Every structure is written in structure tokens, then in C-alpha cells.
Amino acid sequence: MIEAVVPKKALKAVRRWFYLGNAKTPVGSALLLEQFRILTTQVPVLYGVLIIDSISLAYVLSPSLPIWFRFGVPGILLLASVSRMTYWMRLRAVVPTAEQALNHLFRTRILASTMNAGFSLWTLALLEYVDPDMRAPVALLVFVGSVASAYCLGSFPSAARLTLLISALPISLRLMFTGEAPLVCIGLNLCLLLVPLIRMMNTSYRDLVNLVASRAELSAEGRRARTAEMIALKEQAKAREIASRFDLALNNMSQGLCFFDGEQRLIAYNRRYLDLYGLPPESVKPGMLLAEIVDLRFAAGSFPAMTQDEYLAWRNDLVASEEVHDTIVELANGRVFQICHRPMPDRGWVATHEDITERFHAEKALTEAKSNAERAEAAARAAHATLIDALDVVPEGLVILDKDDRYVLWNQRYAEAYGESLEAIAAGVSFEETLRFGLARGQYPEAEGCEEQWLRERLARHAQPQSTHEQQLPGDRWVRIEERRMSDGGSIGIRVDITDLKRREASFRLLFEENPLPMWVVDINTLELLAVNAATCRHYGYSREQMLSMTVKDLRVPEETERLHNEFRQNKGLQTGHETRRHVTADGRVIDVAIEARPLRYNDRDAAVAVAFDMTDRKRAEQRILHLACHDALTDLPNRAALDGQFSRALEGARQRNGNFAVLCIDFDRFKEINDLFGHSMGDKALREASTRLQVAAQGAFLARIGGDEFIAITEQDPLPSSAELLASRLRGALEAGIEIDGHCFDLDLSIGIAVYPRDGEDARSLFANADAALYRAKHEGRGVVRFFTPAMDQQLRDRRALERDLRSAVANGELFVEYQPQRHSDGEIIGFEALVRWHHPQRGIVPPAEFIPIAEESDLIIGIGEWVLRQACREAASWDDTLQVAVNVSAIQFRRGDLQQMVRTVLQETGIPPARLELEITEGVLIENLARAASMLNSLKILGIRIALDDFGTGYSSLSYLQSLPLDRIKIDRSFVASLGRTDRSLAIVRAVIGLAHGLGLPVLAEGVETKEQLRALIREGCDEMQGYLIGRPHPIEAYAEVVGSDQRRQKMLVRNSAL
């Protein structure tokens, strides 16, 4: 309503004039407190002015006025002023809050304004009674008092302005309206004076406000500065405390901690990190590179199971990945650490290292235990589930009775067993009631006629802690009853249907009696024989009555009786299962028997049924097998296995006594010829006879056959070298008389190499190798030679082995090459070439074929070399004139062991040479061992279309029978017969006979080794078809015969230069 009448600006100005202040803002609160402080010093002055004015006016007023009017109001004003002045004097010692100061200011404004207003109104009323001459002084006195009062309230502008308005202004207006010119002038001046006074008070108040605001701001800034300083000091202290705590926490961590920057330099670490890796504190400093620390760790032995470079590469991979990694590392010292890698923004990282060795192993064990527990728990759950269903799935009848023998639980099998008593079987029914119910219905045939006695015996048996018995039921059914009392007094019973068992027992009795193997039933406590079958009586030679009066001990051999007693005492009875024993029959024979025994109840006795297997023949066979394991099957001499044991014993004995012994390597001279000529069967017989003689001649020395015709002898301990040589002489002498087998007499001799311990070696490898080297030297010198080992022999054997080693890589290294020797017809035409392998050794130069071919045959390298020569020769010949043939030698080893037919077929396909241009040369040696197999092989080769030539005819075991049964295309006369042509008539006769024989079979003949014109003329005279030798042409690379092998499709002839031929 007021706002509707009065303008808003005027209302706002009035509110501002009488505004007391705001105690809720910092500046307002400071201003109120400052105003309160100023008032506590000036308000008492205000009231002092009022007291003076009251007293002065009382004396100025006319005495004619009533006393109450003249002195009553001043007295009241005096008392009120004294009271308020005393109150404000006490407030000087008070430090109020802003709210309290505001309350004091509000009351002061009301009281001061009221007292000043009352005083002024009283004064205005008194002016009517004052002498006109005194009105102006009185008004001035009151005005001055009002101004003084306002001044005292200057710090409180609302009270000061209110004091001026209600005190000074009415006085001024009263003087203006007196009508007296002097008073009007005074009143007007006083009114005008109020304006600058109010402005001055406002200005002072604004200065005060600004001063208070500035001081409050400075105070706030000071407080903020002090607060900031205190906060900074607290933060520094807190930081120092945190740093101290951090260092304490860092060094008290159970984990090793380290910080690295992006340059892989150490920033910080704790003591645990050093302790984990065994690093001295003085050796590790911040700023060190990771590689330097890794060096220290590897030096201290605390490094993972990887190389230093691998570890650094692994760490670099972790840094490059910029991912969090938790890795378990096992150190070389067996400790297990868990390393947690955490990357930092600057490509640095922080890592924790924790020794989890015990926890790792514990967790591993815990995992295994947990797995085992889980399996056990699963098994327990399965068992529990099985137990839940046990009553219905168990094949036996099951019943549970309580302590009063009343039914609690039973299964279907139990109810089915007692079908006649099923109506009486119910929960809570007593067991005796059920029995009586069954007796009344004939449930128990065995109780017929003695029901009460049977019932008493049945209940008595049921009352026992544990009982087992059999019970007959109707329908010729039987059950076995097993009952046991439980801890709570109840019982659990099982009914097993043994009807089939009873029937099987009858069958068993029949089987037992009619079994062809010895069987018996024995009491396991007394060892008495309770039953025996007829086979037992027959096998041991006793009657049944005799057997049933005996015990098992009576069947044992005497030396096993005591052991049986001991076993019986230890085991408290006879044990069942499998055992092997030695028994004695009635006629005193000792037999080995294997016994299988199983427990059973026999006539209410603990017994066992046993079946015996006579193992006597098997034992003998096993002994024979054990003997053969250490003996040669052909000669019955010790074999290599026995040799190893004997050598170890001889070596151990010699070392203990500081003695010696000798090793003899023995080899038959030319024994292979017997096998080749007469077959392996004849060779085996000769070898057995020779072994028997050698064993006798050894006179106690150890003699073993290690394979083929090779033997090893070990002399008695501490022999003289002459003793070893004497043993060698005895061995050779044993064969001097010759060996006659199936009408054939063989003259055999031995080559022997001897090595003596410790002179020639201190272990098996060196002694056998050196004895073998001596044997190699002996065989090289001829037949029947005995040689002791010397270091030079070892060098020779090493040279031969080195040559064999180099030969193994000769083909791969391109060291072998082929030379070709021409073959010509008697009319002078070149018909082909024989391929001859040569070896150019990188150090030795050209190695003669006679030196490396035997090594290749002995080591089976000839198979690979022969295939290489065949392929190389066919590849060369494929580019020759189509009329030229190429002849390639085939070793006997290739013929016997290699897949010759398949190899030849493959080479023909690869090289493209026509099969008719290839000729394979074989010797008589490949035919002797197995003529049928050789004929089959040659026929399979002929199917391919190639030619077959018989090489070196007449030097081996020539037989006319195979010439007509083999698919031969040519016969070659050996160079040994050609070389003596012109010198002996015998050679000419042999050559003539061979040529005649071959021509008689329709086969051409080629003579080898033709080196002179006389030999050539003689061969042509005798009708020899073809020739080969140095006279015709030496072996050369095929390039030397380029004109002959040219592909111009013209027949090439090499005419004999001598026109007389």
C-alpha cells in the first residue's frame, strides 16, 4: 500500500537512511563491530551532554513553573542518561559478535532517539514559559545538544540522522515560526546548518565504511596470507611427512620396487629390491642404466634362466608394448619371482619384484591338492548318489532293523526273497513276528518238524554281533545271510541269492574231480589236504587215501620245508595267490610246479583250492634260453654279451692286483671259400668242429665267438707274452690235422692278433681295437700268422679307416670318375667299352682300384659306388654311336644285397640308353652261394633286355653245370691265362679249352689283358672272338675316344697297324 502511494526511489532512500547494517557479510560484520567500538566511547558522552542539558535547563526555567514540570522531566532524563551511560561504560570491556553488535545498535538508536525526542519536545513545551529573551539561547542550547548527540552517534548514521530529524529540526522550525525576525533568522540558519551537518556525517560514515572495508580487506588478505603461509607450511610438513612415510613404506614393502625413466635409467628403488637380487647397496645408485644393473645381477647369480641379451631383449619388448604385464620368472638359483611391469607416460616404467617361491610351490601344491580334493569331492558325490540308489540297485537283499529288531528299511530284493512272508514285512513289525509268519506258511523247509527249536537258534544267531550262514527257501532256492549289529544296537542284514552258486558247487565238484590238472583243497590253518582229484593222485603217484592223510609240507622238497614253516608263522596261515614250488612225487622225482590258489569255505573251514601246473619242462626251456642269451647258438661258445662280462671281470681283477691279461682276436683264413664252394650248411658244420677243438686247446682260457668266423680269447690273469703266444700256437695246432665233414677234408688255419693289458690299452675299446689291428696285420702278411700289437699297426689300421671314411664321401664330393677301356672284335672293329671306376683323392691323388675296391666291398660302400658307376656309364653311352656297348662290373655284394633289378630298370629309364647296349659283368663268386637265386636274378635282368657276361672265368670254383642253366651272353677269359700265353703250353691249353667250351654253348669269348702282339695273334689263331687290353687301348676318359664314339651312325674300325695280323 505504501509503495503504491510513495515512489519506490523515496522508499529506497528512506530505507537506506535508516539501514542498520548486515552482520552476514565480512565487511558488514566488521563495520558493525567498528560502530559498536566507537559507540562504546561516544555514547557515554552523548548521555553526558543530555545530563548537562537537563541540569542547565532546570536552572534556566522560570521559578514560577511547577516544580514537577521544572525538575520532574529533567530528573527522569537525568536518571535515564546516567543509567544508559553506566550501561555503555560496562560494554567497553565486552567483545560482541556482529549479531550482538547489531542488537546493541538497534536498541541504542531507539533509546537515544526517544530520549532526544522527549528532551526536544519537553524543551519546545518549555519555550512557551521561557522569557522571550531567553528563547534563542535555550533553543541554541538544545540545538547544540542535539547536534552533539548526533555527532556522538556519527558512526551510527541512521541514529544520528534520526536524532537530528526529531531533535534539532523541530527546534529550528519552532524558532522560524515564532514571528520574531531574529529568531526566524536563527531558525532558518539552524535548518540550513542541518544539511552540511548531515552531509558531513554521511561523508564521515562513508570514510568509516571505506576504512573498515579497507581494513577488513587488508585483514582478510592478511588472514589469507597467514592462512596460505600456514597451509604452505603444513603442506611442506605434510610433504616431508609423506616423503618420510613413503620412504618408510617403500623400504618396508615385502616387494622389491624400482622406477626407470624413458632412457632406462634407475630413478628410485627400495632395499627389498637389492635384497631380492643380492645386490650390495653401495653398488646401485639412481641414474644407473638397466644394463648395468643386469650386469650386477648376473654377477651375483640372481639371473633368470636365460642369457643376459635375452633378458634385456625381453625387458625391451615389455617397454615397447606399453602394456601392463605380470610375469613369473624362475631364477637360476631356484627362486621364483613375480614381476609386475607398469608403464609410465614417458616410456619409463615401475616394476615390483616379489619372491613367491614358497607361495608358488604352495599354490602349485594347493592346485594339485585342490584338484585331488575336487576329484575326491566328485567321487564322494558320486558315491553319495550311488548310496542313495543303493537299496534298489544292489543285487542283494538288504534290510535294516532298529535296536528292538523292528523293520526300518528294506529293498525289493529282500521282499522278493521272502515272498511268502511279504504280508508281514512292514515298518515297525518285529523280526520274530515275520519269522513266525513265515514258519506258518512253510517259508523255511529246513525248519519243518522242529519249528520252535529252529526259531530259537535263528534268533540266537541274529542276536550275535556278526553272523553268516546259509538258508534254504522253497523251490530249492538258497540264500546266504550276513548280519551285523550296528553301534546303535540295530542291525543290518544282507540276503545273497546263492542258488546258482549251489548249483555251480555241484558242477565244481564234477569239474574238480574230472579236471586233468592236479587240484586239491587245503586247510589254510593246518595245511591238511581236505580233498584231491584223480589227476593229483596220478601226477604224484599216491592213492587218494594217502593224499588225504598228508599235508602240503609232505609234497615239498626238504630244503623248502623250513621256508614253508617260516612263511606259515609269519602269515599266520597259508597264503593264496600265485607261487612256484618244487615238489617231490612218490617215486622221488623233483618237479617244478606253478600253483594258483584261491580262498573258499569248505565244510565250514577256511580253505583254499589250488591247481598245479607242472613247469619242469618249461623251466628247462627257460634255462636253455638263458644259456643261449650268453652263448652262441651254433658253437655253444660264449657270445659277445658274455665277452663283455668276462672282460669287465678280467679288467677289474687286473686293476686290483696291478696285473695284466691278453686279448686274442682270431679269424679263420679263407673260411669264406668253404661257404662259397660247399654252402653255408657245410660251413656251419666245419665251424662247429673247429670251435670244439679250439675250446679244448684253450685249456681254460675264455673263448667266445663274436660273429662269422671271428673269435675272441682272453687269457688267464697275469700271463707272460710268451703264454699268450703259446695259447695262439695251441689254437693253431688244434686245426693242423684238418677237418673232415661229410667226406670232405678242409685244411684250416688261423690268423691271430694279440694285445696285452695295460701295455696296449686300458679299456675294452682300445684293447679290442689294437688286437684287431694286430689281426689285420697278420692277415695282410699271409695265412697262419700270429702278431702282437705294435703302435705301427695302429697307424696302418687308422690309415685304412681314414681311407674308408674318405671313400664314404667320395661320390658326394665328386672325387670318383669313370675311365673307359675299348673292346674290339677279332676283325679289328671296336664293339664297345668297359667302364672302370677311378678315385682322385684330394690329398693322396689317384688311389689304385686294388686299394679302395676291397674296402668298398668290406664296408658295403660298393652298393652306392656301383650304382653311381652304372648311372654315369649309361649316361655317357647314351650319346655314343648306337652300335657301341658299355660293360659295367657288378660286385657280388651288389648282387646279393642290393635291389639290382629295380636299380638297373631305374637307370635305364633315367638315361634312355637301349637295354641291349648295356652289359653287366658278374664273377663266379655270385653263383656259388645260391645258384637257384642267382639264376632267378639273372633271368629277371634278362627280361629287361640287357646282356650278361661271366667275368674272370676259370679263376673261381668253375662248374660246367651253371653254364648251361644261366642266361649268359659272353664269357671273359681272365688276364692271368692270357699273360702266360707263349710261355707255357698249359695256359694255351686252358685258353683253347675255354674257347671251345664257350663256342660249344654258342657263346662268344672275350680275352682280357692283351698286351702284346704275340698274345693277340695266338688268341686269333685259337678262334677268340673279342679282345681287351693295353694293346687295344688303355683306360682313358671317354673324350680320348671321341672319334670312336661319334654319333655319325658309321661303324668305326680300328685296324691293327701290323699288316701281318
833-889 pLDDT, tens digit per residue, is 999 999 999 998 998 888 888 788 777 788 899 999 999 999 999 999 989 999 999
Band of pLDDT at residue 536, cut at 50, 70 and 90: confident
Alpha carbon distance, N-terminus to C-terminus of the chain? 171
Question: Strand 407-410 relative to strand 397-401: parallel, antiparallel, unpaired?
Answer: antiparallel
The string of pLDDT tens digits covering residues 145-178 is: 666 666 566 555 666 666 666 666 676 776 676 6
C-alpha cell at 664: 686274442
H or E stretch at 886: strand 885-889
Chain Cα centroid distance, residue 419: 63
SS3 651: helix
Phi and psi, residue 972, nearest 5°: -110, 130
Least confident of 65-79, 495-509, 1003-1017: 65-79
CB 416 within 8 A of CB 396: no
Q: For residues 736 and 20, which has the higher predicted lDDT (pLDDT)? A: 736
Q: In this structure, what C-alpha cell is assigned to residue 548?
A: 588225504
Inform me whether the pLDDT recorded for 950 exceeds 80: yes
Radius of gyration of the chain (CA): 69
Nearest to 272 by CA among 250, 299, 289: 250
The SS3 assignment for 943 reads helix
Mean pLDDT, range 423-452, rounded to an integer: 85
Bigger pLDDT: 877 vs 252:
877
Q: What is the pLDDT of residue 836?
A: 95
Least confident of 408-412, 693-697, 746-750, 1046-1050: 1046-1050
Concatenated DSSP letters for 606-645?
EEEEEEEEE-HHHHHHHHHHHHHHTB-TTT--B-HHHHHH
pLDDT at site 628: 74
Ranges of each domain in the chain = 17-222, 253-355, 390-497, 502-620, 630-789, 806-1041
- The pLDDT of 658-676, averaged and rounded, is 85
pLDDT at residue 10 greater than cutoff 60: no
- The Cα–Cα gap between 892 and 40 comes to 145
- pLDDT at 385 > cutoff 70: no
Tens of pLDDT along 618-639? 777 777 777 777 888 888 899 8
Q: Name 30's Cβ contacts closer than 8 Å, sequence gap at least 6.
A: 212, 213, 215, 216, 219
- pLDDT at position 174 is 67
Per-residue confidence (pLDDT) for residue 50, from 0 to 100? 67
pLDDT band at 32 (very low <50, low <70, confident <90, very high): low
Q: Does domain 390-497 bear CATH number 3.40.109.10?
A: no
**Residue 731 phi/psi, 5° resolution?**
-65, -40
CA torsion 939-941-944-947 (nearest 10°) is -100
Place 6 in a pLDDT band, splitting at 50, 70 and 90. Answer: very low
Contact 783, 749 (CB under 8 A): yes
**Over 60: is that where the pLDDT of 643 sits?**
yes
Q: Please state, for a pLDDT cut of 70, what percent of the chain lies above it.
A: 75
Query: Lowest-confidence range among 321-330, 531-540, 756-765?
Result: 321-330
pLDDT tier for residue 823 given thresholds of 50, 70 and 90: very high
Whole-number pLDDT of residue 752: 93
CB 631 within 8 A of CB 639: yes
Q: Which CATH architecture has domain 806-1041?
A: Alpha-Beta Barrel (3.20)
Its CATH class, for the domain covering 253-355, is: alpha beta
Instruction: Let me know: does 261 contact 288? Beta carbons within 8 Å.
Output: no
Poorest-pLDDT segment among 115-129, 340-354, 691-705 = 115-129
Domains 502-620 and 806-1041 share a fold: no
For residue 911, pLDDT over 90 is answered with yes
Give the residue with greater pLDDT, 885 vs 62: 885
Confidence at 377, pLDDT banded by 50, 70, 90 = confident
For residue 918, what is the enclosing H or E element? Answer: strand 918-922
Q: Pick the residue with more confidence: 109 or 422?
A: 422
Q: How far apart are CA 755 and CA 771, in angstroms?
A: 5
Cα 528 from Cα 547, distance rounded (Å): 10
DSSP 8-class letter at 429: -
**Cβ neighbours around 453 below 10 Å, total:** 10
* Length of the chain (residues): 1061
* Superfamily of the domain at 630-789: Reverse transcriptase/Diguanylate cyclase domain (3.30.70.270)
> Residue 376: what pLDDT?
75
What pLDDT was estimated at residue 751?
A: 92
pLDDT at 4 over 50: no
**Of 959, 888, 969, 901, the residue nearest 933 (C-alpha):** 901
Q: What are phi and psi of 557, to 5 degrees?
A: -70, 155
300: confidence class by pLDDT, cuts 50, 70, 90: confident
The counts of H helices and E strands in the chain are 39, 31
Mean pLDDT value across residues 972-977: 88
Q: Give yes or no for a cis peptide into 445 (omega within 30° of 0).
A: no
Q: What is the 3-state secondary structure (H, E, C) of 223-247?
A: HHHHHHHHHHHHHHHHHHHHHHHHH
What value does the mean pLDDT of the chain take? 79
What are the angstrom distances between the C-alpha of 469 and each of 368, 479, 494, 909? 47, 9, 11, 88
Which range, of 563-567, 788-792, 813-817, 1050-1054, averages the lowest pLDDT?
1050-1054
Q: What is the pLDDT of residues 326-349, one digit of tens each?
A: 888 888 788 888 888 888 887 888
CA 375/CA 587 separation, integer angstroms = 60
Summarize the confidence of residues 215-239 as an average pLDDT.
74
> Which residues are within 8 A (CB) of 957 and not within 5 positions of it... i.e. 6 or more apart?
676, 677, 924, 928
Average pLDDT over residues 411-419: 79
Asked if pLDDT for residue 1040 goes beyond 60, the answer is: yes
- Determine phi and psi for 786, rounding to 5 degrees: -115, 130
The pLDDT value given to residue 178: 67
Say how far apart CA 825 and CA 1028 lie, in whole Å. Answer: 9
Closest CA to 758 of 628, 663, 616: 663
Average confidence (pLDDT) over 953-973: 75
Question: Tell me, what's the pLDDT at 1050?
Answer: 34
pTM of structure: 0.39
d(CA 164, CA 343): 80
Q: Quick check: 11 pLDDT over 50?
A: no
Please report, rounded to a whole number, the percentage of residues in the chain having pLDDT higher than 90: 15
Q: For the residues 36-46, what does the mean pLDDT come to? A: 68
- pLDDT tier, 750 (very low <50, low <70, confident <90, very high otherwise): very high
Give pLDDT, residue 20. 54
Q: Residue 1053 has what DSSP assignment? A: B
Amino acid at 500: D
Q: Is 889 left (phi over 0), alpha (psi -120 to 50) or beta?
A: beta
907 vs 28, 808, 880, 943, CA distance in Å? 122, 22, 17, 15
Give the mean pLDDT of 670-684.
78
3-state class (DSSP) for residue 973: strand
- The residue assigned the cell 564322494 is 380
Residue 878 pLDDT: 93
**Quick one: pLDDT at residue 759?**
87
Report the amino acid identity of residue 641. Answer: A
Q: Does domain 502-620 have CATH number 2.102.10.10?
A: no
CA separation (Å) from 483 to 24, 455, 495, 496, 834?
Answer: 98, 16, 9, 11, 100
CA distances from 241 to 69, 237, 249, 657 (A): 80, 6, 12, 82
The span from the CA of 293 to the CA of 290, in Å, is 5
